[in-house]
Amino acid sequence: MVISKMWRTLSRLVQSSSRSRRHINPSARDMLQRLKTSTGLYPNLSLHTSNSVHNAEPRSTLDIIKTRISAAGPLTVSEYMSTVLTNPAMGYYMKKDVFGKQGDFITSPEISQMFGELLAVWIIHEWTQMGSPTPFQLVELGPGRGTLADDILRVFNQLSKIPEGALSLHLVEISPKLSSMQAEKLTNGGTADDINSTRGKDDDVRGNPYRSSSSKTGVSIHWYDALSKVPRGKCTCYIAHEFLDALPIHKFQRTDSGWREVLVDTNDDGPGELRFVLSAGSTPSSTVLIRPDEKRNHVEVSPQSGIVVEELSDRISNDGGMALVVDYGHTGDKEDTLRGFKEHRLHDILDDPGTADLTADVDFSYLEHTTGEEVSTFGPVPQGQFLQILGIQERLKMLLHQASPDQQTDLVSGYRMLVDPAQMGERFKMWAMFPHRTDNYIPAGFPP
């Protein structure tokens, strides 16, 4: 009923351009802590990779990888992904716009404004169910071009009754290129030259934002390079849309001698410059990350995803709020999902590193284990089902009434792509975290 009233109000918007409850065994959290303390692989939540020491300026990401292998031996798949995607010098995400038709992949917010509008309505509904506490923070992890945040702020400005100055937006972004694009999108064409771009060494110590500005609707916006630097103590909604799938994974294979880790090595004898090999024995990661009851023969684990979810669980449990994860994934049944994408086509993972996106399906069962018993989790449910429950058909009808014929074609195409099980409707999942409640509350969009 509340959401239906919101949709009636939302119909005044002008068309823009173009969830059962589970309490989880905390053993996975113990494994994460052992990994962090025993190997030092994940000292904090910053997504920056360590800088390798080179005697000469590398000519390509491949040069960086081969130099590291020459110096220290084969890389874990996690180290390889970090180097390929986020090394400061030549990382895939660091220097260019990778989204849209001209990039390598397209995301739901770029397909249709209805996706961001529905998420905004969901956030407002759940915030209202919590009693509309203020101040209220919106936090997006990996905001892409800023399209989702822009749609959410537009709906908040239209529907929410939040007092002026009580809402703030916090973006976790490590890419200089993408943060500039987000600023331009969210601040009516603002750039690094005309907004407060204040990044410096002291910010890493104090946890200050490296950039701050105001949105087109007057909402304060702050950029951080790590979730751990986002302010605490306030009710917050965290959105992670196609964020966790890009975080590095470790790959393992069961053998007659036990679990072995898949590594990346140079290839001196065959085609291609790199190859996958198996570790000669167990590794710290294979010892810590594989669950004793694991039945699969090939396993992918993303400790960084687990650490992010652990941080979110602690924040939600102690500060209030909620988190919504939107990503393609499974519940612990899939094996080999790591793949590359370039120009919207599958691309060899080891070929020409740094020029293609690397991604792996999110293991939602692993994420649920990392929450312990700090929060209640809901889902995962298919994206199409979630959007239908929230009323995407009703919103589509509203937009069609005020659209030109060409816009109507785009709206219907976008709707089908978002909800059709053969496209994104089944593959993408919605998964949420909330504080524990005594009334068995189930958030909107998640079936009982």
How far is Cα 297 from Cα 140, in angstroms, rounded to an integer? Answer: 35
pLDDT of residue 75: 96
- Measured CA to CA, the distance from residue 16 to residue 333 in angstroms comes to 40
- pTM, entire model: 0.85
What was the pLDDT predicted at 103? Answer: 54
**Residue 178: closest CA among 192, 167, 193, 195:** 192
Coil/strand/helix, residue 112:
coil
Tokens at residue 236, please? 């917050």
Q: 223-238, pLDDT tens digit by residue?
A: 999 999 999 999 999 9
Q: What is the CA radius of gyration of the chain?
A: 22
List beta partners, residue 300.
251
Helices and strands, counts by H and E, the chain: 15, 18
pLDDT digits (tens, 9 = 90+) for 43-84: 333 333 333 334 456 688 999 999 999 999 999 999 999 999
pLDDT computed for residue 206 by the predictor = 52
Q: What is the pLDDT of residues 340-390, one digit of tens each?
A: 988 778 899 999 898 888 999 999 999 999 998 899 999 999 999 999 999
Higher-confidence residue of 402 and 18: namely 402
Q: What is the 8-class DSSP label of residue 145? A: T
User: Which tokens hold the place of 165?
Assistant: 């100055």
307 phi/psi in degrees, rounded to 5? -70, -40
Token pair belonging to 22: 């589970």
Residues in the chain: 448
